[in-house]
Copies of this chain bind each other. A is one copy, B any other.
Amino acid sequence: MSIDWSGVSHVTKVDPAEDLPADLSVLGHTDLVIVGGSDGVTEANSLDAIERIAESCDVPVFQEPYSASHVSSDTIDAADFLSIPAVYNGDRANFVAKHVEFFAEAGKKPEELLGASIPVVGDLIASKGREAVADLTENVLAEGYVVQNLDSKAAAESGVDRTYSPDEVAGAALATESFYDFPIFYVEYSGTYGGPEDVEAAAQYLEDTALLYGGGIQSHEQTTEILDAGADAVVVGDCFHDDPAQFLDTIP
């Protein structure tokens, strides 16, 4: 369960609750796609977006749900990875409680993850069920998030009521690298450009962890500033939906 981040410097976040551009060929210029939003996301619109993207380009596709109800065996089959946020400055539900619920649910209902095609015969299903759970969890990626825009829907959805100082961002990055061992650390300014300061603070402690920055990226200059500050990749969302020409300008 790993991604080679050395070839990934530009990530596109596609909101399945918004209209997708009719022509998805611009995604041929990005290195990875994350399908997820903070409002109006469903299993159906997630699956539709994942399948359309997977058909139109050859980059890895993550599904990033904010609720277990967005996830089904179909979305797990269609996406390459299921990426689950753990929000450091969010409420308890969004750091730990949701994850225990998700995995307790996955453990109780392995047959749903296997699909309906598996014969239900006593110990066999129990044993295959555990394998299915193991398979699922191999495709789960944890993302340590810091959400830095209090006015965003992402903040409201994750119970964030306070932004982190650069020292706290650095602490959360170090905790990710050496304690939680999440493969991704994500600085999220959600709709506003936060500049390089938090990325610089986080980058000093991250070696094995990929560092992503998202929020307000609209130009090649901003992409360069964030990458120069030490991010592995910028995440570009809004202008993918709104302005394909501007989107292309954010490619490194």
Residues of A participating in the B interface, judged by any CB pair closer than 8 Å: 84, 86, 88, 91-92, 95-96, 99-108, 130, 133, 137-138, 140, 142, 167-168, 170-172, 174-175, 177-182, 204-205
Contact = CB atoms under 8 A, between A and B. Distances in A.
Q: Which of A104, A130, A204 has the most C-beta atoms of chain B within 10 angstroms of its own C-beta?
A: A104
User: A interface, by DSSP: helix, strand, loop or mixed?
Assistant: helix
A96 B99 CA distance: 13
B103 A133 contact: no
A103 B174 contact: yes
A109 B182 CA distance: 24
Nearest to A98: B175
Closest 3 pairs between A and B when the two form their complex, measured CB to CB = A104-B171, A137-B178, A103-B174
Given A96-B96, A142-B180, 16 more contacts: A86-B96, A88-B96, A99-B175, A99-B180, A100-B175, A103-B171, A103-B172, A103-B174, A104-B174, A107-B170, A133-B205, A137-B179, A140-B178, A142-B179, A180-B180, A180-B181
Contacts of A181: 142, 180-182
Contacts of A88: 96, 100
A180 B179 CA distance: 9
Contacts of A103: 170-172, 174-175, 178-179
A179 B104 CA distance: 13
A174 B204 contact: no
Contacts of A204: 107, 130
A181 B244 CA distance: 39
13 contacts: A88-B96, A99-B180, A100-B168, A100-B172, A103-B171, A103-B175, A106-B171, A106-B174, A108-B167, A137-B174, A142-B180, A142-B181, A180-B180
